[in-house]
Amino acid sequence: MTYKKLLFVMVLLMVGFVSFSVSALASVGSNNNEGINEKYGLPRVVYGEALSEAQKEDVRRLLGVDDPSMVQEYTVTAEDLVNYIGGDPSANMYSSAKITRKDPGHGLVVNIVNSDNITEVTNEMYANALLTAGVEDALIEVASPVKVSGHSALTGIYKAFNVDGESLDKDRMEIANEELGIATDLAEKAGMDQEKVSELLTEIKKAISEQNPATKEEIEKIVQEQLDKLNIELSPEDRELLTNLFEKMRAINIDFGNVASQLEDLANDLRNTIEEVTGNTGFWQTVMDFFENLLAEFRSLFG
């Protein structure tokens, strides 16, 4: 085997090791070692109604719930699905979530702790929808012990924000759920990359916050501008879906400027997390230099 081939194999092994390490770090939710923030009370954990006791224990492990007495536990039911978003009363609820309130300015951070089992919804899709619903400044962790689309976790998060005298606006919750449905449909039926869908939704919201449209026609113009900007082609039907969605948001006076700033915070948090895991932006060059030096040692010993 030539030195170049050996170098290539060793780098592949290192990439595999780092990928495994990143997955391991992301596979378990935050634990309770930070202590209780007495201003906001215990974190809230909402379990899907369809979970068995064994599956619920699995979800506790995934969400870092070592001691159930250190969180407030709830169960999200099909009845909640009907009450919050007018959903199907026969639906099975598996996806679950842990909600930890944070101080103002923290931003909204979403982490799917076992993304292999949440098949249709991404962190960014959840964040977009939750900001539309009015959720801010919180750490949201999502998990499921079985493969699910991930939609029911949104209802569980809504439930966590509708207890102890708190409440989210019902119209905003319904529109946020519609937004999540359109996002996953675009990714599935229109063949768009999931991250591209989230980018499109975010850019439309930012443009609306800047231009403050007053009519549906102006919303339609913004949607088309962002599609052109991102080089995305959609059918007339899908463009109409997006226009109608954002017209509904405009009609109930959602603060798009606030939504856009929170999404920017989320993007920065994600970038920082990646840099923390990899060390720094020159990580891969460091890996290459390490193996080059290692091969040089081999050459000096056996050459």
pLDDT at 191: 79
Number of domains in the chain: 1
**Per-residue pLDDT band at 16 (split at 50, 70, 90):** very low
**Per-residue pLDDT band at 29 (split at 50, 70, 90):** low
* pLDDT tens per residue, range 131-148: 999 998 999 999 999 999
* Sheet of 138-143, strands arranged across: 72-76, 44-48, 96-101, 138-143, 108-112
Domain that holds residue 152: 10-278
Note whether residue 53 is domain-resident: yes
**Per-residue pLDDT band at 102 (split at 50, 70, 90):** very high
Note whether residue 66 is domain-resident: yes
CA 190 remoteness from chain centre: 20
| Partners of 100 in the β-ladder | 139
**Per-residue pLDDT band at 22 (split at 50, 70, 90):** very low
Closest CA to 158 of 303, 246, 44, 60: 44
Distances (CA, A) of 122 to 3, 16, 119, 194, 235: 41, 23, 8, 7, 23
* pLDDT tens per residue, range 221-275: 999 999 999 999 999 999 999 999 999 999 998 877 766 667 676 556 545 654 6
CA 260 remoteness from chain centre: 15
What is the phi/psi pair of residue 242, to 5°?
-65, -45
* pLDDT tens per residue, range 198-227: 999 989 998 998 899 999 999 999 999 999
Helices and strands in the chain, H and E counts: 11, 5
